[in-house]
A and B are shown apart, each in its own frame.
Chain A
Amino acid sequence: MSDATQYEPVIGLEIHIQLATNTKMFCGCRLEFGAEPNTLTCPVCLGHPGTLPVPNEQAVKFAIATGLALGCSIAPRSMFHRKNYFYPDLPKGYQISQFDIPICANGELSGVRIHRAHMEEDAAKNIHVGESGRIHGAGRTVVDYNRGGTPLVEIVTEPDIHSGAQAREWLQLLRATIKRLGVSDVNMEEGSLRCDANISIRPVGQKELGVKSELKNMNSFRFIERGIDAEIARQTALLNAGEKVEQETLHFDPSSGSLTSLRSKEEAHDYRYFPEPDLVPVAPSSELIDEIRASLPELPLQKAERYENDLGISAETSKFLAFNAEMGAYFEAVLAAAGDGADNKRIGDWVVGELVARIGADADPAESKVEPAAMARLVSLVGEKAVTNAGAKTVLDKLVESGGDPDAIVEAEGLAAMGDSDELAGIVDAALEANPKAVEDMKSGNMKAIGAVIGFVMKQTQGRADGGEVTKIVREKLGL
């Protein structure tokens, strides 16, 4: 056997986003997550005979805003279609969706092209009462129609993604972008953001795409990354063993890491799409589109650029802050609390480097005990050299643990930096005395030896001394 062929994974994503409108897509029912089942319904969203859909204007505006944020062009006239299939969670026996003319198309976000973004209505929720958890073989199925008719935007990317990690990072940016627009809660646990991935692999250098499989309903970014990587590994193993990849729909079980087939191509539906005769085309005026464009907030990509260029934050930290919706919002709150003239770069480093290390990258810092004002004050204390880096880390430990005011913690724990006080000079004297070898070395030009002296001082002062200050005093004393 020669060396195994090198494969390039090719991944496209389909993302469903529930819009946070006041009411449903085609009726006046209120939207609310977790309400008592079947309390948010009416004859229209229950599909009663004779009822007709009326499009939600707010949803159309939200869809346009989403498209503009993704660099899409907005169709001057887009159509609704009926997508026909039978299922108890689909009251009318068809879903109103868009087909050949979506409202948004041909966009791009951070190197991933957007094929289209279209509007549709969400299905209701089947709850299977029985052992299998699936409708076939379930003892009983009950339906909660509260979710039925929630406005959705489905975003379909071109196959421009090449790894699980890239998919995860890009989805984080997409999520932050949508969150910033304010058109959706984009909460994966509540299902307001759902993602499917189309995955294929091809020999490196080959242009045409391999046979793809579809990975369904992954409900966290971590599982998306793992699921995609597992599927890439599965396809690679198949091809290396001389077998073929079949077109099928798969489910990734995060607890076992296994992939199970939901249905194959032969079972694929014929949805019999046709133009929805109950609705007229969506024809937003160019004035409306301009108005929405003008009111778009600063989006994460622009924000990352601003952090990097204006605040002098490193590219990586900027992206981390800007692409992570909660982290970015927290960072902005700390900036605001710090006020003008603050050291923004230092704030960025402390939030990303120190706070995240303590609470985890997936946590929402706004839910931690560290108030943005406290974080701002702590970083400012460091800047003023009122506490040393080491002391500030101790303060942050306390803040994460039980919150509070940094000044009070510094006071209570005796963590105030010693500055150039006589006390520090005395401790330096003691350190030089205790490390004659280091003194010799420094005198003969090896300044690295100062480490031992600083270490001694830090130990004596429990980290309250500033390393730079200690060096200064040593140099003075030794005449270096």
Chain B
Amino acid sequence: MSQDLLKLSAAQAVSAIQAGDVSASELYDFYRRRASADEFNSYLSVDSDSTIAPAGGELAGVPIAIKDLFCMEGVETRAASKILNGYVPPYDSTVVAKLRAAGASFIGKTNMDEFAMGSSNENSAFGAVRNPWDPTRVPGGSSGGSAAAVAAGTAPWATGTDTGGSIRQPAALCGLVGLKPTYGAVSRFGMIAFASSLDQAGPITRDVADAALMLKHIHGKDASDSTSIGLPEDVVAPSAENLNGLKFGIPAPLDWGGVQTVVKAVFDASCKRIEAAGGEIVELPLPHADYALSAYYIIAPAEASANLARMDGVRFGQRADVSGGLTEMYETTRGEGFGPEVKRRIMLGTYALSSGYYDAYYGQAQKVRTKIVEDFKAAYETCDFIITPTSPSVAFGLGEKTDDPLQMYLSDYFTVPISLAGVPAISLPAGLATSDGSAVAEPGTEGALPVGLQIAAPHFAENKLLDAAHVFERETDFADGPWTWGS
């Protein structure tokens, strides 16, 4: 019976509860037990009150795990940072409120890179998360806890947030579906801000249908977020049969220099599969994409340096116990409260905004961003989607890149341009690599690691994107992961 519960996707679980085959409380207890016994440090807290959503909601009480970046009324929310120790928000983020209203039950808060800054989940103040495919490896980040929870089957699905790839990259490294919606599709209210002009909430799920189901319930214009627009049409369950007439663009020339051979091999195989399903592969220029990482690592830290200023020990969270004056209180609180990567980015961002440097850094980065937006606009005049690998490599070893921030930042090479353009993109499982990353592996191979494909669509074309992803998913023999291994 429990194996059967584990096999249900979120959408299937909703149907099973509605059909009376499974009870919401049975499913909730099942997942809460599994989350409490989690071995991958996926959770920062697991719900202790067993608060199951009232019956009758569209999500039928199906449990969900929530990234610790989302404020939840009455539940300690720390963004995996010591500085927010003890912070219990007096309000729900809009995403949580909408899921609550739709009848979701909450299992717990998932681990993440501190303030969503990282690509390996090693920047959490509460310990690294391990990848359920191979516990010596990272799950990706920053939504690593959410991805590990879904991959390990301690949650049927989870929310993530994506600023430069924080949903898509961990989804790829954990063999899951991760969707970053169009900037503005989902309200940011109550999502602790990292880089406000880039942050978007989205689903991390086992399949595309679940991603569509969650998006349906979290998108929408929100009076509390002036930058939210919502999607122009209802999100529908993907149902396309083929990719006939659709053009998939590959940015050319694409720099494969830093990309693992096996990632390239899986990508090439993915292109063949797209063609087999009726799609057409074309090449198109994205001339400024190569500048995206540099621009991103100016803009995101600049915004973060201001967003994190409110963590000052005055009104909430942890305050250093000092005898001196105000300045000492600020310095010690922030010195003790923030981890090294957060400090690094605050310093980068503060510098980039400083008088005398603004034009050379922040101003220039914004110009690059404008160019990238124009590139994507032009590209979508000749194709329906843009495809790349999601991550240049498969999941890397814990500690492998922690001493080299630049190497770590390169993990976002394929995801960042899309974030700057503000368009939606999905990462979905595309194939497996052998454990040493040297070759493509067949399903079932011992120690194999997942490789993801990223598909990006024009602004607000989420339905079209989900349809294409759904077809690709069906053509890919990959309905397997740690959650079905019966651990």
- Measured CB to CB, the residues of A under 8 A from B are 43, 46-55, 82, 84, 86, 88, 91-94, 135-137, 141, 143, 270, 272-274, 277-280
Contact = CB atoms under 8 A, between A and B. Distances in A.
Contact of A86 (B325, B330, B358): B330
Most buried by B among A55, A86, A143: A86
A93 B316 CA distance: 14
B71 A278 contact: no
Instruction: Enumerate the 5 nearest inter-chain pairs by beta-carbon distance, A residue then B residue, closest first.
Output: A93-B309, A277-B196, A277-B197, A272-B353, A50-B190
Contacts of A55: 226
A92 B307 CA distance: 8
Contacts of B196: 277-278
Interface stretch (B55-63, B82-90, B423-431, B472-480): B82-90
Contacts of B353: 84, 272-274
B189 A47 contact: no
Nearest to B188: A52
9 contacts: A43-B91, A48-B71, A48-B315, A49-B311, A49-B316, A51-B189, A272-B354, A272-B355, A277-B196
Given A51-B190, A92-B309, A272-B355, 13 more contacts: A47-B315, A48-B315, A49-B192, A50-B89, A51-B189, A52-B188, A52-B189, A52-B226, A54-B224, A55-B226, A82-B306, A91-B310, A274-B362
A53 B306 CA distance: 14
B306 A94 contact: yes
Nearest to B83: A49
Interface string B248-278: 0000000000000000000000000000000
B89 A274 contact: no
Interface residues of B, number: 45
B226 A49 contact: no
A160 to B, nearest CB: 28
B302 interface: yes
A19 B65 CA distance: 44
Most buried by A among B309, B325, B362: B309
Most buried by B among A48, A49, A50, A137: A49
Given A43-B91, A277-B197, A50 B191 contact: yes
B227 A49 contact: no
A141 B329 CA distance: 13
Given A270-B355, A274-B302, A46 B87 contact: no
B306 A49 contact: no
B308 to A, nearest CB: 8
B143 interface: no
Given A49-B77, A50-B71, A141-B326, A280 B306 contact: no
Contacts of B315: 46-48, 91
Contacts of A51: 91, 189-190
Nearest to A272: B353
Interface string B356-374: 0010001000000000000
Contacts of B188: 52
Contacts of B461: none
A48 B226 contact: no
B314 A43 contact: no
B79 A49 contact: yes
Given A50-B189, A88-B314, A277 B226 contact: no
B350 interface: yes
Given A43-B90, A49-B89, A50-B89, A143 B314 contact: yes
Contact of A43 (B89, B191, B330, B355): B89
A279 B226 contact: yes
A231 B77 CA distance: 52
B226 A54 contact: yes
B186 to A, nearest CB: 13
Nearest to B198: A277
B93 interface: yes
Given A141-B326, A272-B355, A49 B224 contact: no
B325 A136 contact: yes
Nearest to B71: A50
A84 B325 contact: no
A252 B462 CA distance: 61
B303 interface: yes
B192 A50 contact: yes
Contacts of B316: 48-49
B11 interface: no
